[in-house]
């Protein structure tokens, strides 16, 4: 069953197209990465899927219902969201902020403790939110988004302010949630993160999805059919994959001249740049 | 329209904590009490003192607190975040309004006692005060919705203060300038009539028209605030 289904969705702001024509679907249990340069329309699509914006055209369905249904409390229980402009109550402590969410989702008291551990903030729980660092705020906002272990989780650049240790901690947590059945829709500018975390990624550019697939598939598709050989002498060759190359490599190998052989595989970042013609932002 | 008691009370508790730690705002609770003490010492015979005490408290406490609570959530983006949780617009509005209602009731009860005002009819007095608190809460909601920041909210209170607090005084001019007669239909003017009922005796005709006019204001402003609230919180 598809948790998210988007068909020819279009969104214009005034005369400008933010999304021209976007179609894809996300099955239950997937971690889906939505990539694209700044201004590509990633946040706009999340807003459409969570009923904060109406699409100009096309159909967006979540849980097999039109996205507008996401305004109902019963549907809101089923998803969690972390946006790039989520707000926290500044005069409340971390714990008090989470306590509000716990009550709104009607959860047992233990939920706050659990989620504090999840985001690695148990020992800072009494701190007022207005004294937190950017990365800590981001983790608190993430905690608010997942406290109810939603079926579907929207994460809009969840790790943009995190250090590698905390990112790794969050990835582990997200995988754990995912194993328990949470479908995750994530946008990020971090290609390594997308590659590490996502079952499938889509690259959005100029209002359309330019390519979609698992990171491995994409890399295979965009692989240039070359083998890179480095010799002990320091010389390096990029050779086509064919019989001649096989003979040359066999010859070098017999003579013990080979330092390294590798297929020339593009990284997700290379594919991103190729698709969008732009640098990573 | 769906309201959950649990969610509204969660919002109530949250707003209570935020409010009590926001000293710039919670100091407003002291104004009505301060006024009561001042007027009392100036002599209870001070004409219009009771009316001024109540009407200014409604504007400076009830209306102002509600406007600030809403404007601050907008300024900090927390309202938008809240709308993505199961909390409905009505949960949020009810949670906030009940906090403001409770605070206004307690503070006004204290200042009534301190001031030593004795109503001619306690039932009429309570009804008029309760209706007024609801009315000014709605006015505060409307002010908050049109403000983007706390500063806007403070400024938006000024016209409300001018119109509502000034009406009873303006209405006095009606003898010379009939246009000002309109001001007598303001809820604040009608409240003054009710506060001035003579303990020695009054007719039903002195009670019902003012009470009904205040009730009508309350109904209209509440309706407007709810509709505006639902409308302004939809898409950008
Ligand atoms: N409310 C709005 N009114 C007008 N234009 C908007 C609005 N929201 C977004 N846009 C425009 O739509 C386009 C897509 O914006 P969006 O925020 O979805 O980009 P994004 O992919 O999330 O970018 P980033 O990676 O920087 O977060 C941008 O050109 C933006 O200026
Ligand atoms: Mg964005």
ipTM confidence score: 0.89
In chain A, residues with a C-beta closer than 8 Å to the C-beta of B10 are 100, 103-104
Instruction: Specify the DSSP class assigned to residue A128.
Output: B
Is B44 a residue whose pLDDT tops 60?
A: no
Check CB contact under 8 Å for A53 and B235.
yes
Handedness of CA A193, A194, A195, A196 (dihedral sign): positive
- What residue spans define the domains of chain A? 2-219, 224-264
What would the pLDDT profile of A1-16 be if each residue is shown by its tens digit?
799 999 999 999 998 9
Joined together, the tokens standing for residue B27 give: 């100091």
d(CA B95, CA B7): 8
* B4 Cβ under 8 Å from any chain A Cβ: yes
d(CA A20, CA A40): 10
Rounded to an integer, the average pLDDT of A229-245 is 90
d(CA B68, CA B72): 6
What is the model's pLDDT at position A266?
Answer: 86
What would the pLDDT profile of A182-212 be if each residue is shown by its tens digit?
999 999 999 999 999 999 999 999 999 999 9
DSSP helix/strand/coil, A231: strand
pTM of the entire predicted model = 0.88
Check CB contact under 8 Å for B7 and A87.
no
What would the pLDDT profile of B11-29 be if each residue is shown by its tens digit?
999 999 999 999 988 999 9
DSSP string, A90-127: TTSBHHHHHHHHHHHTT--THHHHHHHHHTT-GGGTTS
What is the model's pLDDT at position B236?
Answer: 47
Is A279 a residue whose pLDDT tops 90?
A: no
Neighbours of B173 (CB within 10 A): 13
- What residue spans define the domains of chain B? 5-235
Joined together, the tokens standing for residue A55 give: 């699409």
Instruction: Supply the CATH classification number for the domain A2-219.
Output: 3.40.50.300
Q: Nearest residue CA, atom 26 of ligand 1?
A: A38
Q: For residue A209, report the distance from its CA to the centre of ligand 1, in Å.
A: 16
Rounded to an integer, the average pLDDT of A215-229 is 88
What would the pLDDT profile of B193-206 be if each residue is shown by its tens digit?
999 888 888 888 89
What is the model's pLDDT at position A132?
Answer: 94
Neighbours of A262 (CB within 10 A): 10
* B149 Cβ under 8 Å from any chain A Cβ: no
Atom of ligand 1 nearest to the CA of A46: 18
Rounded to an integer, the average pLDDT of A132-161 is 94
Instruction: Provide the terminal-to-terminal Cα distance of chain B, rounded to the nearest Å.
Output: 22
Residue with tokens 């079952």: A199
């Amino acid at each position: 069953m598809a948790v998210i289904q988007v068909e020819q969705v279009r969104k214009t702001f005034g005369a400008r197209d933010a999304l021209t024509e976007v179609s894809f679907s996300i099955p239950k249990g997937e971690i889906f990465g939505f990539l694209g340069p700044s201004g590509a329309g990633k946040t706009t699509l999340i807003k459409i899927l969570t009923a904060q914006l109406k699409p100009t055209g096309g159909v967006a369905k979540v849980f097999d219902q039109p996205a507008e249904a996401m305004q109902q409390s019963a549907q809101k229980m089923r998803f969690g969201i972390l946006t790039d402009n989520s707000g926290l109550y500044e005069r409340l402590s971390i714990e008090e902020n989470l306590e509000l969410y716990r009550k709104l989702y009607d959860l047992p008291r233990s939920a706050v403790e659990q989620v504090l551990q999840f985001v690695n903030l148990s020992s800072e729980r009494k701190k007022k939110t207005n004294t937190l660092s950017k990365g800590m705020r981001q983790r608190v906002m993430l905690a608010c988004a997942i406290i109810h272990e939603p079926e579907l989780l929207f994460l809009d650049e969840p790790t943009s302010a995190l250090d590698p240790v905390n990112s790794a901690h969050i990835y582990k947590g997200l995988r754990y949630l995912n194993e328990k059945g949470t479908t995750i829709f994530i946008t990020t500018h971090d290609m390594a993160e997308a590659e590490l975390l996502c079952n499938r990624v889509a690259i959005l550019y100029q209002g359309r999805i330019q390519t979609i697939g698992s990171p491995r598939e994409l890399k295979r598709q965009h692989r240039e059919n070359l083998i890179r050989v480095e010799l002990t002498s320091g010389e390096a060759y990029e050779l086509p994959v064919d019989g001649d190359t096989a003979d040359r490599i066999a010859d070098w190998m017999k003579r013990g001249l080979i330092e390294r052989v590798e297929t020339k595989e593009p990284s997700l970042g290379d594919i991103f740049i190729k698709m969008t013609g732009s640098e990573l932002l | 329209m769906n309201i959950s008691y649990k969610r509204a009370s969660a919002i109530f508790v949250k707003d209570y904590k935020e409010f009590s730690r926001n000293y710039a705002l919670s100091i407003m609770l002291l104004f009505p009490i301060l006024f009561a003490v001042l007027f009392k010492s100036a002599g209870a015979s001070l004409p219009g003192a009771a009316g001024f005490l109540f009407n200014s408290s409604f504007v400076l406490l009830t209306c102002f607190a509600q406007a600030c609570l809403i404007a601050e959530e907008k300024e900090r983006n927390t309202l938008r975040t809240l709308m993505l949780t199961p909390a409905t617009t009505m949960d949020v509005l009810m949670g906030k309004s009940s906090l403001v209602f409770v605070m206004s009731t307690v503070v006004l009860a204290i200042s009534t006692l301190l001031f030593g005002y004795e109503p001619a009819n306690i039932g009429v007095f309570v009804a008029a005060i309760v209706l007024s608190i609801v009315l000014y809460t709605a006015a505060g909601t409307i002010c908050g919705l049109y403000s983007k920041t706390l500063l806007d909210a403070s400024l938006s209170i000024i016209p409300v203060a001018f119109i509502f607090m000034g009406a009873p005084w303006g209405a006095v001019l009606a003898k010379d300038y009939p246009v000002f007669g309109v001001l007598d239909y303001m809820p604040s003017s009608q409240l003054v009539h009710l506060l001035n009922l003579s303990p020695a005796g009054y007719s039903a005709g002195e009670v019902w028209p003012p009470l009904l006019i205040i009730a009508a204001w309350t109904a209209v402003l509440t309706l407007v605030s709810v509709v505006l609230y639902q409308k302004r919180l939809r898409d950008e």
